[in-house]
Amino acid sequence: MNTLFIQVMSVPAAVILIILLLLVAGIIGYLTAWYYARSVYTPVIKKLEDEKVQLNREIEGLKDKVASLKGKITELEKKVDDLDKDVSLREVEISRKNDIIAGLESEIKELKKKIKV
C-alpha cells in the first residue's frame, strides 16, 4: 500500500510534503528545546534573582553604614581640630609660664647676689 501512495504522488507534491514534514519536525524540536531550557534554567534564574535582591539589600545596608561612618569621621575630625587648638593654646600658656619662671629664676639669682654682697 505504501508503494502505491508514493507512486501516486507527483514530484512537486512530494517536495512540498517533505518540506512540510521538515518544518513540523523543526517546530517540534524548537518547542522541545524551549520547554527543556525553560525547565532547566527557570530555577537557576529564580535563584540568581533572589541572590540579586539579597545583594541589593546588603548594598543598601553598607551604604547606610558608610554614611554613618562618614558622619563619625566628620565628628572625630572636628574633635581632633578642637584638641589641636587646645594643645596650641596650652603650648602658648606653657611658653608664657616658662618665661615667667625664667624671669623669676633670674630675680632669685639677683636677690641671692644682693644677699651675698
CA 86 to chain centre: 39
Q: What total of structural domains would you count in the chain?
A: 1
| pLDDT tens per residue across span 13-64 | 889 999 999 999 999 999 999 999 888 889 999 999 999 999 999 999 999 9
pTM of the model as a whole: 0.51
**Sole residue written with cell 533572589:** 50
Task: Please report the pLDDT score of residue 9 as a whole number.
Answer: 73
Is the model's pLDDT at 4 over the cut of 80? no
Residue 21 amino acid letter: L
The number of CA neighbours under 13 Å toward the Cβ of 71 is: 6
82 CB contacts (<8 Å, ≥6 apart)?
none
Which residues in 65-104 are b (16+ Cβ under 10 Å) and which e?
eeeeeeeeeeeeeeeeeeeeeeeeeeeeeeeeeeeeeeee
